[in-house]
Each structure stands twice: as structure tokens, then as C-alpha cells.
Amino acid sequence: MRLAPRRALEQHRAMRVRHAAASAVQGLAFQVADGIARTRLLYGMPEPPLATTSALTVQGVPMAYCWETSTYEAASEVAAVGAAAKAARLAREQAEREAFEWEAKKAAMNKRDRKKAEKKEAEDKAAADILTAEAEAAAAEARAAAEAAEQQRLADPAVQHQMAYAKEVHGLVAAAVATTLDEFIDRAIAVSDEPGL
């Protein structure tokens, strides 16, 4: 059974585009591998060990999914992060439930009891605001200390060298992908513009 000429032409073009894509991917893989090897040598970085693992890692740190936060965390910290997020969620839910129950109870009170309850509520809120302000101040101090530690870490020449290497590799890969994609698009357009056989 013979295909219609138009269908045969479309299949031929599709096959040529698939070949162009395969060629582009192979060229990209070689270009990236060569570029990374050259950059690694220029920066004096050690060759990473060739190993495969089924574990999810980020820069060699095993990662695990935390269901409470819906994010990936370091595997050694995932239980603590999950427990803290769960405790915060449960505390929020409990506070909402208590606020709802309190409003329902307050609505059932007479005017005199409601006034006393609102006065007590205002006093409790003032005390809670003080505790919140103290907690926010402590959190701000902790953030400032963490930022100072991060600035000190970033000032380390070894860290700067590693960051420069990572930036160079990232730029090299991005440029290789962009160039290869542009070349493939040009080739695919040329194939689609070919006249019929």
C-alpha cells in the first residue's frame, strides 16, 4: 500500500526533524561535558566521583520530601521540620477553633458579662502583643546573626572560588543550550521549508 505523496513528504520531514533533534541533543551533551571538564581544570576543582544512586541529593546532601511543608528538606532534618510545621499548623487550628467558640460564647452572654469578657480579652491581647513583640525581636536577632554568619561564610576565598566555578558552569550550560536550541530551530525551519520531492 502506497502512501499519498503529501503524507510521505510529511513523514520524511518529521523523520528529518527527529534526526536533527537527536543530532542537536548529542552535540549539546558533548559540548556541555567538554565545557564542564575544561572549566573544572581551569578552576582546579577535583573530578567528582562517578557514582549512581537512587537517592535524591542536592550538592551531595541527601534530601527527602516533607509532607507538612510540601518541600524537599535535608533528610537529616525532615522529621524536625515536619514536626515543627505540624505543631504550628495545629496551634493555628486550635487558636481559630478557640476564637470561634469564644465568639459564640460571647454572643450568648448578657451585656454586663460581655463587657467584663471584652475587658479581660483586651488585657489578654495586650499581654499577647508584648509576648509577640519579644518573640519578633528574638527572631530579628536570630536573622541578623544568621545573616552575619552567611556574610562571613561568603567572605571565605574558598567559598568565593566555589561560587565562581558554579557561576561559570551555569553560564556555560545556559549558553550551550541556547546556541543548540537556536541551531535546531533554524534546521527544523529549513526542513519544513524544503520543497516537495
Note whether residue 152 is domain-resident: yes
Residue 20 contacts residue 191 (beta carbons within 8 Å): yes
The mean pLDDT of 102-122, rounded to a whole number, is 84
Write out the residue range of the structural domain in which residue 75 sits: 5-45+56-192
Note whether residue 50 is domain-resident: no
The mean pLDDT of 26-34, rounded to a whole number, is 91
Integer Cα distance of 20 and 101 in angstroms = 67
Note whether residue 197 is domain-resident: no
**pLDDT tens across 57-75, in order?**
877 788 888 898 888 988 8
pLDDT at 164: 92
**pLDDT tens across 131-164, in order?**
999 999 999 999 999 999 999 988 999 889 989 9
The pTM (predicted TM-score) of the whole model is 0.53
Three cell numbers at 60?
551531595
pLDDT band at 197 (very low <50, low <70, confident <90, very high): low
What total number of domains does the chain contain?
1
HSE toward the beta carbon, residue 66, CA cutoff 13 A: 20
More confident residue, 7 or 176: 176
